[in-house]
Amino acid sequence: MKQTSSMPLLATALATLGLATAAPSVAGVVSQAVYINGTIDTSTIGGFESRTADASTSILTTEIGFASATVNSAPGAMAGQATVSMDATEFGGAMLEARAQGRTTELLHFGTDYCVGTVCQSAARLGVTALNIHFAIHASGGASAFASDPRFDHSTASVSYGYALTNGVGFTVSGGGMKERHEIGEVIGDITSASGDLAVRPGDTLELLLNMMVFASANINGWHNSGFTSAHVLADADFAHTLLWDGITDFTAFGANGQVINLAPGGRFQLIGDSGNDFWNASPGFGNPPASVPEPTSLSMLLMGLALGVWKHRQRPAKVANQG
């Protein structure tokens, strides 16, 4: 019997062994504007881009709207959002796109001690040579799209993610999901939480990979036969702080001959990541919602409300004129 090591001491030991060198990484954030034709002044395009080790943001504005893309990462967690909003007059066709994608990789070091409270015993002493762990991935993302005249204008928003957990001998459990929405209302695919099982050995080093992508695009044609004097298009792909490692939810221990080892209930092994976090538990995610990622519901509803309001307001004079 022995006492468990404290988290700071364990993280320090991993760093001393050279195991704490990996950090979450984010890359591939793009926001761009592509013009079809019309009277848009390309000299009015403005852009902003910022990248750090765990976050990336790109914002582009034009005289007809904006496109923004952002992605954030934390140990065992990712967040992202891509938004496009456009308002163009007749014969002013354009297309805007926003895309953000990121990837995190972390090594997880499976402990050799089974602990109930503060009392621990080595797996070898308990006769445990292998385990089957059941883990969970939390994922929820949304996509919304709108166009005032879908006959001529088009908008698309999509979110997707993937995960992979690999054990010490190279066996991998992986999965993912995708959801896409067009302005006419159809939703393709689904985003749901996931779970999996993986065989591990005490002392193994596992690799956890998380990746995600958000994409939004809006297209306003350069000509309209609808009689509308303006067009309004928006798309929002939201994966804001909702892709998370959800921890080990169950496990079974086995002996050298494949027999099940019944361990004392209520215990656990440690699963320390290079970041120093214990991945036996769910990822804490972001301490606060990422500053560059707006709350999904409020942003989507605001953009949708503005688009509908402006469209209805601009159609009213045309109807009055026709009545005259």
Mean pLDDT, residues 15-42: 60
pLDDT by residue (tens digit) across 231-266?
Answer: 788 999 999 868 999 999 999 999 999 999 999 999
Residue spans of beta strands (DSSP E) within 191-229: 194-200, 205-220
- Return mean pLDDT, the chain: 79
The Cα–Cα gap between 154 and 143 comes to 14
Closest CA to 242 of 143, 168, 117, 96: 143
- The closest alpha carbon to 98, from 234, 216, 237, belongs to 216
Q: Is the dihedral of CA 294, 297, 300, 304 positive or negative?
A: negative
pLDDT in tens, 113-132: 999 999 999 999 999 999 99
Q: What is the CA radius of gyration of the chain?
A: 25
Closest CA to 104 of 211, 214, 242: 211
Q: For 283-297, what is each residue's pLDDT tens digit? A: 988 865 444 444 333
* DSSP-assigned letters across all residues of 105-125: EEEEEE-SEEEETTEEEEHHH
Q: How far apart are CA 159 and CA 238, in angstroms?
A: 7
Pairing status of strand 30-34 against strand 2-3: unpaired
**β-strand partners of 286:** none
pLDDT one-digit tens code per residue, 154-186: 899 999 999 999 999 999 999 999 999 998 778
- Return all residues near 170 (Cβ < 8 A) that are at least 6 apart: none
Q: pTM for the complete prediction?
A: 0.78
Cα–Cα dist 185/14, whole Å: 50
CA atoms 218, 222, 224, 230: torsion sign: positive
Residue 323 — pLDDT band, cuts 50, 70, 90? very low
The sign of the torsion formed by the CA atoms of 288, 292, 297, 298 equals: positive
Tell me: pLDDT of 93 over 90: no
3-class SS of residue 238:
strand
User: What percentage of the chain reaches a pLDDT higher than 90?
Assistant: 55
Write out pLDDT tens, residues 18-27: 333 345 678 7
The pLDDT-based confidence of 30 (bands split at 50, 70, 90) is confident
What would the DSSP string read from start to end of 142-194? EEEEEES-TTTEEEEEEEEEEEEEE-TTS-EEEEEEEEEEETTS-EEEE---E
In whole angstroms, what is the distance from residue 130 CA to residue 320 CA?
Answer: 77
Report the pLDDT value the prediction gives residue 46, as an integer from 0 to 100: 85
Name the H helices within the chain: 7-16, 123-126, 296-323
